[in-house]
């Protein structure tokens, strides 16, 4: 019985160490993947009334955006933020601050070569979704 208890304890501690280690690795990757210069490939705005798409507009080739390792960034071309900004990011959100304005965007997908983020404004009976598509 002591051997089974000891074996269970070893397996439990090993599993705990492995899963804790993976979580920290994922957090590090999330913080690093965004660093670099990205092409702003596409911007899409969709408006919905009572769950039905009522309008959609799209713009392509909107310039470039730079995310630096020190948490600062720059909109090259001025079509996204307009100039320099600061940022933080998690696996779920990209938070951009320019002057006194801070905006939190939902990260929909990300990798080392592309990412998509969006912001949704809701109002009585509808919503507006803005979505940006980036690539390296």
Please tell me the CATH code under which domain 35-135 is placed: 2.40.128
Query: In the structure, what pLDDT confidence band is assigned to residue 82 with cuts at 50, 70 and 90?
Result: confident
Domain ranges in the chain are 1-33, 35-135
pLDDT tens digits, 7-65:
444 444 444 444 444 444 444 444 688 899 999 999 999 999 998 999 999 999 888 99
For residue 78, what are the β-bridge partners?
A: none
DSSP per-residue string spanning 90-102: -SSEEEEEETTEE
Within 10 A of 134 (CB to CB), how many other CB atoms are there? Answer: 22
Q: Retrieve residue 24's tokens.
A: 């920290």
97 close to 86: Cβ distance less than 8 angstroms: yes
- pTM, two decimals, is 0.70
pLDDT tens digits, 102-117:
999 999 998 889 999 9
The pLDDT mean for the chain works out to 80
């Amino acid at each position: 019985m002591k051997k089974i208890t000891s074996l269970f304890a070893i397996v439990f501690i090993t599993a705990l160490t492995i899963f804790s280690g993976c979580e920290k690795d994922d957090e590090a990757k999330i913080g690093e993947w965004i660093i670099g210069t990205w092409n702003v490939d596409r911007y899409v705005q969709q408006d919905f009334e009572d769950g039905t798409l009522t309008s959609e507009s799209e713009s392509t080739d909107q310039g470039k955006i730079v995310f630096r390792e020190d948490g600062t960034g720059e909109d090259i071309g001025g079509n996204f933020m307009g100039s320099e900004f600061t940022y933080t990011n998690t696996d779920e959100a990209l938070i951009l601050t320019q002057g006194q304005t801070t905006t939190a965007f939902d990260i929909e997908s990300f990798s080392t070569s592309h990412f998509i983020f969006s912001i949704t404004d809701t109002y009585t009976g509808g919503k507006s979704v803005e979505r940006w598509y980036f690539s390296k």
